[in-house]
Structure 1
Amino acid sequence: MSQTDLISPARFLGQLPQHLPHVPRLLRGLYYTRITNRDKKLSLAWALELCTERFPTRPAVMDEQRTLSYAEFNAWANRLARVLQHDGVGHGSTVAVMLENRLEILAVLAALAKLGAVGALLNTTQRGNVLSHSLNLVKPSHCVVGEELHNAFCEVHSGVPSISAEHCHWLADSDTLRAPGEAPQGWRNLALLARQEADDNLAQSRQVRMKDACFFIYTSGTTGLPKASIMSHGKWIKAYGGFGYSGLGLTEQDVLYLTLPCYHNNAVTVCWSAALAGGAAIALRRKFSARAFWKDVQFFQATCFGYIGELCRYLLNQPPCPEERNNTLTCMIGNGLRPSIWSEFKERFGIQRITEFYASSEGNIGFTNVFNFDNTVGFTPATYAIVRYDLDRDAPLRDRKGFMLKAEKGEPGLLLSEISKKWPFDGYTDPAKSEAAIFRNVFKKGDAWFNTGDLMRDIGCKHAQFVDRLGDTFRWHGENVSTTEVENVLAAFPGIEEAVVYGVEVPGADGRCGMAALRLNAGQPLNCTGLASHLQEKLPSYAIPLFVRLLDEVETTGTFKYKKTDLKRQAYDPALVQGPVYVLLPDSEAYVVLQAEVYQAIQQGRQRV
């Protein structure tokens, strides 16, 4: 951390004058973030309908072929809601939603919000047992499935007893407003049925409360299988205030370019709420493309975009193109932009405002870079503490009375957020998993704090800087990787007795890539080609360990947890590791021994992994 990142009271006050014209909007945002009455009837549906009243003719959503005004989009959502209502979807119903990034997914989610139903946002890359697990975790009564994911759903439908055949709705992979297509036998054609429905607002929309669930968002778990976190309308409204009013400050003249997957909160909560707060449009793309990014920005005349840190890294690695010069972007919102590229990104692309934030799907705290400082996740009105953490013991430090110790300003520590009426913890669908995320008796008897599992440092004036993730998950290419899941896949390969997986840093890349330390059966050589093939078949590309080393013995703690501190420290440096280190280079079909010259090339950014 640079000393220039610290925010003193004088520096903070010096930043305030430029924000004075926006004070009324900042205060409005603060109001939404601090609402404690969870019976208050505020929701995503309320926000959409309010925005439609204010800006009926302004663009709401667009893609390469379509642009819909707020009045048109809201009417579409109302028609879809009535079809689902006639099929038994009501307040509290859970509906599985399986659609790729297209305007239909936003319309379906708006429709469900109007009914007070919960959209279970399935990761579109899930297949087989993982998809079946995710569906059965929330026991949906209905589903809405796009043509592009129809086969994936059908493969597991027989193992999901909560969804009967008559409650399966289908949407063609087309502009369903003009071409609803022909649904497969036994499926209800949601777009076709919606044509005959009324398009005025439903009475139910104004009855949805902040305490009601809005989405189920799936997060990576240490068991290797996803967990379903509850995104309530109350948390969505806090995002609406924090990101939309206080953070970005978009208006009806703005266009937010969105390539992040809509099964993530970054898209449907952060970016969508930021747009709805000011009447901005969402320009949606199916999948991020670094090569097409600036052409899309020019096409949509986008003024803002939603990001994760890895996306920014991809853009910086692209050679300059004509479209990036004098582009229309002025701001961006997202998380994971590292200090090492923050200034370079702003300067190359002419970005004036980076609304970096920190939040989690299941947590009760969020930081937002409201005051536009560099290299920070921003400010939070929530009550939080950063406590000292023993990485070797994998536990917070406590004093003689058993209470935790707060870290000094600038010192990395574990971020905790107090659980209170003002900052409730909605948690997971599984109460046991929710309780496991809570620390009790932290600073006094009877208190309760949410364990974020992340290392942060306090840099002053209620601002923080992200340091790293803890526990059995690391992040690579914008995805959470469960070490336990990867360890299980490795252990299933012939000849491997034990496997320890952890994340290691690679210069010039965001997050940590996977590395595995393996103990083989006695006399068993490492099958470099077979192992690579096995992992490529069983794991998504981002979860495959790029480095492998061999161990004679695997050290564990008294509770049989793997000791990873020394392994992480040694990483893949051949000078520190006893025995060979193997690497899986891009487009390679086998692990090869990491030679000193290749190691140096990786460290210098000349060799990608």
Structure 2
Amino acid sequence: MTRTVAATTVAELVQRQWGDRRTGLQSRGTVLTHHDAAAGAAARAALLAELLPRGAEPHLGVLLDNTPEYPLWLGAAALAGAAVAGINPTRRGAELARDLVHTECRVLVTQRTHLPLLEGLALPDVRVLVTDTDAYRALLAPYAGATPGEAVVRPVSPASRLLLYFTSGSTGAPKAALCSQGRLAAAGASLAGQFGVRPDDVHYICMPMFHGNAVIADWAPALAAGAGVALRDRFSASGFLPDVRDFGATYFTYVGRAVQYLLATPERPDDRAHGLRLGFGTEAGAVDAARFEARFGVPLVEGYGSSEGGAALRRTPDTPPGAIGRAAPGDRLAVVDPETGEECAPARFSASGRLLNGERAIGELVNQGRAPFEGYWRNPEAEAERRRGGWYWTGDLFYRDEAGFLYFAGRTDDRLRVDSENLAAAVIENILARWEDVTAVAVYAVPDPVAGDLVMAALSPVEGRAFDPARFEAFLRAQDDLGTKMPPRFVRVMRSLPTTATNKIHRARLRADAFLCPDEVWWRATPAAVYEPLTPDSVAALRAAYTAHSRAHLLGR
């Protein structure tokens, strides 16, 4: 039976672990009870109280893989009234230093494998703790007898800042979104209730914990329900099922690219020999979600909640295929044309499910009611952009049917305008993902030499299978929901698609490369032409066309 939780802070949830001798936290080589986890968090809270200078912001940076130290320090921050800035290990040099300095971290918790990232960085007054060293263990030892609530840097309340997690963007420095103890505790309780999380469940965390996906959608509901947590230091497609079986995992979170990696592993007769009952995440796409359930016997529930907490959707049993859900209670969500501020028309569909009026139905999702967005750290300009006109603008594209169900159509950066018609990359991707010859697809805009955009797709073929343009053209012709503007003019063939540190496809890099890349590229000189290899002569002719229309600068190189 699902544990009922009325806790208003994460600190309360950590304190409730005290005395619980069931297995609570596992990784390869580590097994801790819930009580051990609470004791470990209390010891680290006491150490933190000693290390943070008086008057300094109670912020610590955590630059770790998914080791047990990560959730222990999250618990420590909650108990102490401090906040964790999750540091992305793919950041380098001045950018990484900027993340720490910007969030005013006076303590940095890391591990030996990440020490080279810190070499030569200017980190004034930052105390570095290296968790897998004797020095760290000796530093922590005097606090082994600490109890939860004993060491407090700042008084704990639902409004206490707990997370400063960086949101990715295509331009500018990442923004540190704020999340309070109250919001995280409420999110955990909501998801635990929605998915019927039980104390005997085990949540498998294989997405990086410096990102909101793992903390908000995986760790928090486990904590709220008293369930166990199992960690993978970094996502591994080949290690996924062995981990799930060994840990007895029942729930996991994902992003779409991780699902594609799992589907690309060789099929085995024992693919369904596990205890998983649910996966929850984003951007898997209807085709990949169906393939995943058919192969592994695990339903994937697509969710939506903006990283900053400004809008959320709730899936109900009557949610139609392809839709994410309706607005969560209390949210006043609308799909709005960002240029006019007017609400977009309801979506109309053909008998086969094709969106017929994308140019009028697709817009940006906004929350016109009271959004739980708590702001960005020291970034009033970005806050104002999110809250312009008194609404919360998500930066995500959606369309809405007559019944109020919302369908994800991509990020605002993923919008394409082809021959004066607005298209959404996610809609085209979901169609191309049906092709059995590929394991991954990304669709994005490249500039048209004259005006607007052209559609480009990056495809990752099934291993050992070359791209066959004739087969691809036949596949496109067979898709009755593929609009006339949707077929890619350029196709980039890649062994694997580039990803961000959070296992999302790195579309900004693909857009920046356009068709000027070392990979195999095919193209159609006109929409009616057949696909042919993009040769140096073709590139030269394209460059001339861009130059003739004063658009060469849009290629970026």
Per the alignment, residue 332 of structure 1 pairs with 279
CA separation of 1:303/1:222 partners in 2, compared to 1, >3 Å: closer, same or farther? closer
Cα separation, 1, equivalents of 2:447 and 2:366: 31
Distance 1:192 1:238 in 2: 36
Counterpart in 2 of 1:345? 292
Distance 2:182 2:316 in 1: 20
Q: 1:89 to 1:77 in 2, by over 3 A?
A: farther
CA contact (8 A) 2:204 2:218 kept: no
Cα distance between partner residues in 1 of 2:304 and 2:537: 38
Aligned CA distance change for structure 1 residues 89 and 330 (closer, same or farther; 3 Å): farther
117-126 or 273-282, which deviates more: 273-282
Conserved? CA contact 1:215–1:232, under 8 Å:
yes
Q: Is the 8 A contact 1:89 1:117 kept in 2?
A: no
Q: Residues 549, 325 of structure 1: CA spacing in aligned structure 2 closer, same or farther, 3 A cutoff?
A: closer
Q: Quick one: structure 1 residues 76 and 435, their matched pair in 2 at CA, closer, same or farther if it must change by over 3 Å?
A: same
User: Structure 1 residues 317, 583: CA separation in 2 closer, same or farther (over 3 Å shift)?
Assistant: farther
Matches within 5 A, 1:155-554: 155-156=120-121, 158=122, 160-161=123-124, 164=125, 167-172=127-132, 181-183=133-135, 189=136, 191-197=137-143, 198-203=145-150, 207-245=155-193, 247-351=194-298, 353-369=299-315, 371=317, 373=319, 374-379=321-326, 380-389=328-337, 395-398=338-341, 404-408=342-346, 411-420=361-370, 423-429=371-377, 430-440=379-389, 448-459=390-401, 463-471=405-413, 507-508=432-433, 512=442, 542=506, 544-545=509-510, 548-549=514-515
Name the Cα RMSD after superposition.
3.6
Q: Map Cα deviations across residues 556-607 of structure 1 (whole Å, 9 max, x no partner).
A: xxxxxxxxxxxxxxx97423389x99889xxxxxx9989xxxxxxxxxxxxx
1:117 paired to 2:77: no
Aligned residues: 448
Instruction: Name the aligned partner's letter for residue 77 of structure 1.
Output: A
Helix, strand or coil for the counterpart of 1:155?
coil
Conservation of the 8 A alpha-carbon contact between 1:99 and 1:105:
yes
The 1-side partners of 2:318 and 2:40 are apart by: 37
Is the CA contact 2:39–2:148 (under 8 Å) kept in the aligned structure 1? yes
For the pair 1:150 / 2:115, whether they are aligned, the reply is yes
1:354: Cα distance to partner?
A: 3.5
Kindly provide the CA deviation profile for residues 396-450 of structure 1, in whole angstroms up to 9, marking residues without a partner as x: 434xxxxx23542664332111353xx332121201110011231xxxxxxx210
Number of the residue aligned with 1:83: 47
Question: 1:360 deviation in Å?
Answer: 2.1
Distance 1:518 1:101, change over 3 A: farther
- Give the deviation of 1:241 after TM superposition: 2.4
Whole-angstrom distance in 1 between the partners of 2:302 and 2:250: 16
Distance 2:216 2:397 in 1: 24
Distance 1:348 1:119, change over 3 A: same
> Alpha carbons of 1:436 and 1:544: their partners in 2 closer, same or farther (altered >3 Å)?
closer
Aligned residue in 2 for 1:488: none
The answer for the alignment partner of 1:564 in structure 2 is none
Shift of 1:42: 2.4
**Unmatched segments (≥5 aa) in structure 1:** 1-20, 33-40, 173-180, 184-188, 390-394, 399-403, 441-447, 475-501, 520-535, 551-570, 585-590, 595-609
1:61 aligns with 2:25: yes
Equivalent position of 1:35 in the other structure: none
Q: CA separation of 1:277/1:544 partners in 2, compared to 1, >3 Å: closer, same or farther? A: same
SS of the residue corresponding to residue 13 of structure 2 reads helix
CA contact (8 A) 2:335 2:400 kept: no
TM-score, structure 1 length as denominator? 0.66
Residue among 3, 8, 11 paired with 1:45: 11
Are the structure 2 counterparts of residues 251 and 148 from structure 1 closer, same or farther at C-alpha, using a change threshold of 3 Å?
same
Q: Distance in 2 between matches of 1:592 and 1:263?
A: 45
Shift of 1:363: 3.4
Q: Following the alignment from structure 2 to structure 1, what is the Cα–Cα distance between the partners of residues 386 and 158?
A: 22
Cα distance in 2 for partners of 1:269, 1:592 equals 51
Where does residue 487 of structure 2 map in the other structure? none
Task: Give how far 1:327 is off.
Answer: 2.1
Q: Which residue of 1 aligns with 2:475?
A: none
Secondary structure of 1:340's partner? helix
Q: In the alignment, residue 31 of structure 2 is paired with which amino acid? A: T
Three-state SS of the structure 2 residue aligned to 1:60 is: strand
- Please name the residue that 2:72 is paired with: 107
Q: Distance in 2 between matches of 1:408 and 1:117?
A: 45
CA distance in 2, matches of 1:360, 1:582: 40
1:574 aligns with 2:490: no
Task: Describe the SS at the equivalent of 1:512.
Answer: strand
Task: Give the Cα–Cα distance (whole angstroms) in 2 for the partners of residues 202 and 417 of structure 1.
Answer: 37
Looking at structure 1, the residues matched to 244 and 70 of structure 2 have their Cα atoms a distance apart, in angstroms, of: 22
Q: Distance in 2 between matches of 1:116 and 1:583?
A: 58
SS of corresponding position for 2:303? strand
Find the aligned partners of 2:414 and 2:362 in 1 and give their Cα distance.
Answer: 19
Residue 56 of structure 1, CA deviation: 0.4
Counterpart-to-counterpart distance in 1, 2:190 and 2:448: 45
**What is the alpha-carbon distance in structure 2 between the residues aligned to residue 330 and residue 120 of structure 1?**
32
Say if 2:398 and 2:407, in contact at 8 Å, map to a contact too: yes
The alpha-carbon deviation at position 139 of structure 1 amounts to 1.9
Aligned match of 1:557: none
Residue type matched to 1:231 in 2?
C
> For residues 166-212 of structure 1, what are the alpha-carbon distances to aligned partners after superposition, in whole Å with 9 as ceiling and x for unaligned?
x332211xxxxxxxx344xxxxx2x3222221231124669422222
1:471 is paired with a residue whose SS is: helix
Cα 1:514–1:582 shift into 2, 3 Å: farther
Evaluate the alpha carbon distance shift between residue 511 and residue 467 of structure 1 in structure 2; reply closer, same or farther with a 3 A threshold: farther
Secondary structure at 1:193 match in 2: helix
Q: Provide the secondary structure at the position in 1 that maps to 2:99.
A: helix
Contact 1:363 / 1:452 at 8 angstroms: preserved in 2?
Answer: no
Distance 1:339 1:72 in 2: 41
Quick one: percent identity of the two aligned structures? 25
Note the C-alpha offset of 1:275: 0.8
Q: Secondary structure at the match of 1:56?
A: coil
**Closer, same or farther in 2 for the Cα pair 1:68/1:462, shift >3 Å?**
farther
Whole-angstrom CA distance in 2 between matches of 1:581 and 1:196: 69
Please say if residues 114 and 202 of structure 1, whose CA atoms lie closer than 8 Å, have aligned partners that are also in contact: yes
